Amino acid sequence: MSRPDLKVSFCGFQCENPFLLAASPVSRFGEMIERAFRMGWAGAVTKSVSLAQDLPDHSLSPRFAGIGLGGSGLTAPYKGGLANIDFRIDQSVEKTMADYALLKSRYPDKFLAISLKAEFDQKQWQHLAGLATAAGADAIELCLSCPDPCGEGGSCAGGSIGQNPQSVKEVVTWVQSATYLPVMVKLSAHVANLAAIGLAAQEGGAAALTAINTLKSISGIDLATLSPFPTIEGMSAAAGLSGAAIKPIAQFCLDELAGEPSLQLQLSAAGGVTCAQDAIEFLLLGARTVQVTTQIMLEGYGLIEDLRDGLAAFMEKHRFRTVEELVGAIRPKLARSSKELSRRQQLIAQIDADLCIGCGRCYLACRDGAYQAIEFHPDRTVRVDSEKCAGCGLCRITCPVPAAIRFTAKEEHTEGSA
Amino acid sequence: MPPTVSMPNSMPPRLKGAYWEAARCLRCCDPPCNQGCPAGIDVARFIRQLSKGDVSGAADTIERDNPFGLICGWICPSEVLCQKDCTARKLGRAIDIRSLQRFAIEENRRAGSSNRFLTRPQLAEQRIVVEGQVKREAPTNVAASSGLVAVIGSGPAGLTCGLILVRLGYRVELWEKTDTIGGRLSHGIPSFRLDSAVLRSELEILASPLIIHRSRAFGMELGLDDLRRQGCQAVFLATGKWRENIPEIPGNQLIGVSTADQILTQEDWKSAGVKSAAVVGAGNAAMDVARSLLAEGVEMVHVLYRRTPKELTSWDEEREEAWQAGVIFHLLCLPVALEGDSAGRVRSIVCARTAPGPLDSSGRRSFRAVEGYSFELPVEMVVYALGYGTDCASLESQGIWVDEEGFVRVNEDLATNVDGVFAGGDLIGKGRGTVVQAVADGKRAALSIHQYLSRERRQGE
Ligand SMILES: Cc1cc2nc3c(=O)[nH]c(=O)nc-3n(C[C@H](O)[C@H](O)[C@H](O)COP(=O)(O)OP(=O)(O)OC[C@H]3O[C@@H](n4cnc5c(N)ncnc54)[C@H](O)[C@@H]3O)c2cc1C
Ligand SMILES: Cc1cc2nc3c(=O)[nH]c(=O)nc-3n(C[C@H](O)[C@H](O)[C@H](O)COP(=O)(O)O)c2cc1C
Ligand code: SF4
Ligand code: SF4
Ligand code: SF4
């Protein structure tokens, strides 16, 4: 079999692979994006350009907080998420657009979408759309979902527009009439019915949807100073949460969009991609491209090597020839509700004594969080009581040794013992 | 005002990675690390606290059971104690518990907290580990405690016992033979392993609640009868082991022959300008001596050991560091004579090769010299570091029983044969030899003395 083909067509553009920089610090200006392009990223959605960036004042400092896993935000080594406030481009709109135009002229084969952000004001949106079109972009992405209030006097733009199907449709229509470029709409998870927002964008004439933007969050409190993070003169405010922590929510959102039969738009996924596995999952759920921010912010553009090679290896193993083939491939396996799932499968945990290191974590988990089915002996061996085990799966989640706990069908086990 | 706390400015790499290391801990059920700490620190708990960012909670957990928590964080041989059976070892590498311990306390001191053993409002329930079993002891009848207890020796055993008794409400007077407190911490353990400023400030904090008589030795002019006459109702003996073993071989009278303690506790040898030396013995003290010599500019430092690596008693880490520092090891060799020059100075050491023989009565392999194989090393200095014994004569003169090896005999409560006299630390024997075990003995003795005095008081009523 020949090498799998990673190319995918998105918004009418032939992307060399499905991996794009998401609108954020990682795509702030040409020189950065250029470095990412040379390392193998297929394209970028630029940091959202807004007329507010022409204001002379500084962005907030600090503007990031790490969200620790299983510990306090400052000390926990594993950061499950990143929270940001007020990150904007520190350069005039004019210079920024010129920068992007130069970049695009140098890299005609890379996909460049310019992201825009403005208040609910037709003039602003159309002005920006005109600039983006003149810059030679391949698409325009509308940030209708930023949880951070932007614009003068805090009159909220993106966020509130994205909450309302009517205003989404209207903004898309305005932009549509000011450009010939395909329009992508960046969605927020903070809505009651995401599919309805997607349909509104479709009615307005959008070509694609990107889901999701960051989630509203409070980043924790410094107990030494009693000030919230990120601390700015002793104060803070709600921030946008991104990274691994939001991946399950982003996947749920993508499922809502892909599962809506009347929605025909192409989908781009964002939210918590940290490795090839994550990215492939999004493709299998129905995304054609996958956008990344936080993991790049934590480990650099080199992530593309893992994504690209991981996707190729996966496609080879499962005999997918093109990315198109795998987009949405597992959708038939997602039931609309857990009620539709079979109750015939009943499993039982089995512990491999050779692999087990006797830490007793499974015992504690089962004792205090499940069915008291594991015995922990003084010699540090463990045993599953097949009568009591309900096959819930908790123990395997706590075990530090991969494959030490396996699940087999319960009947097999009780056979002959009755 | 609490004494000022000294902290080293630089942080070794092992400490910089503390939060990552703490996150690696598996949070075992019935954690094996807890059984390995003689002082009874709830190791798994303090690591869990650290991994969740609770430094002051971690320091509290450590110091409630070990007032020498910071010092132990520098010098405990954790590889053979708490880290020995750590479950993470089965995933490749034990958790670096000692460094986490030091990190937690140093961070807490930097944040302005003093030793939690002293600053917590009351003595915590104490965890005592005896043969791997953790027992909890909450002293009862504390309100009624009164009386005077004598503690002999200001090493970790004596200081710990005294501190607990003071917290239980007793008056404690401590007698120390030298003019410095701390025992082996101050006279033996070199400063390249335990920062002297940290040690000094730590000892100052720990000694602050105690009445200490310095330069007063227990023995002839201060015996058990004298202590009783002064009103002491119980005595804790913690004088350690300080008598150095020296082999009988020709040439010991030469200039340049010395003992481990002369190197570790005195300065005069440093000015002699010696360039080569032989250290006889390969225990921990020998490793410290060898490294101290190198550190002072002795270029060729030989360690001579009678047996094979299997029988070595020094801790792996100490030996590895000596090796890395450039110490030359000679195994299976036995010094038989020292040769001198015309000025009466050591010129060389003559060694016989040894070979393993049958097992001796204690089950240890014996080693005997092999005829006809010998070699001579040119050296200007010879240091005997062959281990220590107790000062049994002065103990026996007080009617205290000692065993064949010279260690004081005690029962499980650390009581000696003499009513009201207890003993612990290096003084009571084999399998001791660590600061943390001395601390553990100090704890156990204090609780036993409290029980003894409560019983006496009840009987008196
Ligand atoms: C070179 C060396 C390196 C060591 N390295 C380590 C190490 O890295 N880690 C570790 O855990 N342990 C180490 N040890 C062992 C550790 O120091 C001892 O086990 C511990 O100090 C014993 O405590 P102790 O209180 O029983 O006795 P000591 O610390 O010996 O204290 C006894 C005290 O009693 C005093 N005293 C003696 N006789 C009398 C008397 N007649 N009257 C009054 N006072 C008296 C002494 O002056 C001394 O102050 C080392 C020991 C040596 C010698
Ligand atoms: C610091 C920061 C700034 C961002 N700025 C924008 C923005 O200007 N416009 C936008 O549409 N999304 C913005 N995002 C959202 C990202 O594009 C992306 O949707 C989100 O971070 C989820 O992806 P991730 O988990 O890979 O980071 C920003 C994210 C971060 C972390
Ligand atoms: S599957 Fe659930 S019930 Fe069974 S042993 Fe594991 S945790 Fe217990
Ligand atoms: S969690 Fe895994 S390694 Fe630990 S005792 Fe259970 S099966 Fe063994
Ligand atoms: S034994 Fe090791 S891994 Fe287990 S709790 Fe203790 S330190 Fe952690």
Q: Tokens for B317?
A: 């880490």
Mean pLDDT calculated for residue range A43-61: 86
Q: Please report whether residue B348 resides in a domain.
A: yes
- pLDDT-derived band at A151 (thresholds 50, 70, 90) equals very low
Mean pLDDT (whole number) for A337-349: 95
What rounded mean pLDDT belongs to chain A?
92
Identify the helix (H) or strand (E) that includes residue B455. helix B435-460
Phi, psi (deg, nearest 5) at residue A124: -60, -50
Q: Which residues of A touch B91 (CB under 8 A)?
A: 357, 400-401
pLDDT(B3) > 50: no
pLDDT digits (tens, 9 = 90+) for A397-414: 999 999 999 999 987 555
Q: Are residues B109 and B73 in the same domain?
A: yes
Atom of ligand 5 nearest to the CA of B34: 6
* Residue that terminates a domain, selected from B113, B134, B155: B134
Interface pTM (ipTM) of the complex?
A: 0.79
DSSP 8-state class, residue A382: E
Determine, yes or no, domain membership for B29: yes
Partners of B52 on chain A (C-beta within 8 Å) are 70-72, 76
| Cα(A395) to centroid(ligand 3), Å | 6
| Shared domain check, B265 and B220 | no
Residue A71: band (very low, low, confident or very high) from pLDDT cuts 50, 70, 90: low
How confident is the model at residue B137, as a pLDDT?
86
Question: Does residue B1 belong to any structural domain of this protein?
Answer: no
Q: How confident is the model at residue A150 (pLDDT cuts 50, 70, 90)?
A: low
- The reply to whether B254 and B377 lie within a common domain is yes
Kindly state whether residues B53 and B123 are assigned to the same domain.
Answer: yes
Q: Where are the alpha helices (DSSP H) in B347-434?
A: 392-396
Of A76, A78, A359, the CB nearest to B28: A359
Residue B248 and residue B384 in one domain: yes
What pTM, to 2 d.p., does this model score? Answer: 0.87
Q: Return the minimum-mean-pLDDT range out of A41-50, A143-152, B289-298, B438-447.
A: A143-152
Q: How confident is the model at residue A156 (pLDDT cuts 50, 70, 90)?
A: very low
So what's the pLDDT on residue A153? 41
Residue B30 and residue B129 in one domain: yes
The answer to whether residue B145 sits within a structural domain is: yes
In a domain, B8, yes or no: no
* pLDDT tens per residue across span B347-388: 999 999 999 888 887 777 888 888 888 999 999 999 999 999
Q: What are phi and psi of A199, to 5 degrees?
A: -65, -35
B422 shares a domain with B379: no
Q: What's residue A233's pLDDT? A: 96
**Residues of chain B found within 8 Å of residue A76, distances taken between Cβ atoms:** 19, 23, 51-53
Which atom of ligand 5 approaches the CA of B25 most closely?
8
- Confidence tier at B321 by pLDDT (50, 70, 90): very high
Q: What long-range pairs does A127-130 form, CB within 8 A, spacing at least 24?
A: A127/A51, A128/A49, A128/A50, A128/A51, A128/A93, A129/A174, A129/A175, A129/A178, A129/A179, A130/A178, A130/A179
Which of A80, A43, A416 has the alpha carbon at shortest distance from A245?
Answer: A80
CA distance B261 to B118: 32
Residue B111, classified by CB atoms within 10 Å of its CB into exposed (0-12), middle (13-18) or buried (19+), is: exposed
In angstroms, the CA A267 to CA A282 distance is 10
Which amino acid is it at A125? W
pLDDT at A78: 77
d(Cα B67, Cα B374) in Å, to the nearest integer? 50
Overall average pLDDT of the B294-310 stretch: 93
pLDDT at A342: 94
Query: Quick one: pLDDT at residue A416?
Result: 41
> Which ligand sits closest to the CA of A349?
3
B406 pLDDT exceeds 60? yes
CB proximity list for A400: less than 8 A, separation 6 or greater: A357, A359, A361, B26, B91
Active-site residue, from A146, A253, A389, A399: A146
Q: Residue B139: its pLDDT value, please? A: 84
Atom of ligand 3 nearest to the CA of A390: 3
Average pLDDT on B48-74 reads 95
pLDDT digits (tens, 9 = 90+) for B113-157: 999 999 988 888 899 888 888 888 888 877 777 899 999 999 999
Whole-number Å distance, alpha carbon A394 to ligand 3 midpoint, is 6
* Arithmetic mean of pLDDT, A300-326: 96
- DSSP 8-state assignment for residue B326: T
* Averaged pLDDT score across all residues of chain B: 92
Strand A239-242 vs strand A79-84: parallel, antiparallel, or unpaired? antiparallel
Q: How far apart are CA A255 and CA A194, in angstroms?
A: 10
Quote the CA–CA distance of B325 and B133 in Å, as a whole number. Answer: 38
Spatial distance between the Cα atoms of B209 and B123, rounded to a whole number of angstroms: 14
Asked whether residue B65 is domain-assigned, the answer is yes
Percent of chain A whose predicted confidence (pLDDT) is above 90: 84
**B32 to chain A: which residues are within 8 Å by CB?**
380
Q: Which pLDDT tens digit goes with each residue over B62-104? A: 999 999 999 999 999 999 999 999 999 999 999 999 999 999 9
Q: Look at residue B4 and tell me if it is in a domain.
A: no
Co-location of B262 and B336 in the same domain: yes
Q: Could you tell me if A68 lies within 8 Å of chain B, comparing CB atoms?
A: yes
- Tell me which of A152-166, B223-237, B322-336 is least confident: A152-166
pLDDT at A88: 79
Q: Which of B41, B36, B55 is nearest to B105 (CA)?
A: B55
The C-alpha atoms of residue A399 and residue A393 are separated, in whole angstroms, by 11
The CATH number of the domain where B146 resides is what?
3.50.50.60
Residue after which a domain boundary falls, among B112, B134, B156: B134
Q: Could you tell me the CATH number of the domain that includes residue B54?
A: 1.10.1060.10
Top pLDDT among A316 and B5 is at A316
* Cα B228 to Cα B248: distance, rounded to the nearest angstrom: 41
Instruction: Supply the angle between the helices A247-258 and A276-285 in degrees, to the nearest 10.
Output: 20
Co-location of B126 and B164 in the same domain = no
Cα separation of B274 and B269, whole Å?
A: 8
* Ligand 4 centroid, distance to B43 Cα (angstroms): 20
- Beta-bridged to residue A290, according to DSSP, are A19, A269
State yes or no: is A146 an active-site residue.
Answer: yes
Shared domain check, B121 and B34: yes
How many A/B residue pairs have CB atoms within 8 Å? Answer: 52
**Domain count for chain B:** 3
Q: Are residues B398 and B322 in the same domain?
A: no
Distance from the Cα of B408 to chain A's closest Cα (Å) equals 35
CB of residue B26 inside a 6 A radius of ligand 5: yes
Rg (CA), chain B: 23
Examine residue B6 and state whether it is found in any structural domain, yes or no: no
Does residue B120 sit in the same domain as residue B218?
no
The residues near B429 (Cβ < 8 Å, ≥ 6 apart) are B403, B405, B407, B408
Separation of CA A367 and ligand 4 centre (Å)? 13
pLDDT at position B409 is 96
Strand pairing partners for A112? A44
| Beta-strand pair B243-244/B388-389 | antiparallel
pLDDT of B33 higher than 80: yes
Question: From the CB of B292, is ligand 1 less than 6 Å away?
Answer: no
> Residue B282 is part of which domain span?
244-388
Q: Whole-angstrom Cα distance, residue A157 to residue A50?
A: 10
Last residue of a domain, one of B388, B420, B437: B388
A101 has a pLDDT exceeding 90:
yes
Categorize the per-residue pLDDT at B1 as very low, low, confident or very high, splitting at 50, 70 and 90: very low
Nearest bound ligand to CA A360?
4
- Our separate counts of H helices and E strands in chain B read 16, 17
A1, pLDDT greater than 70: no
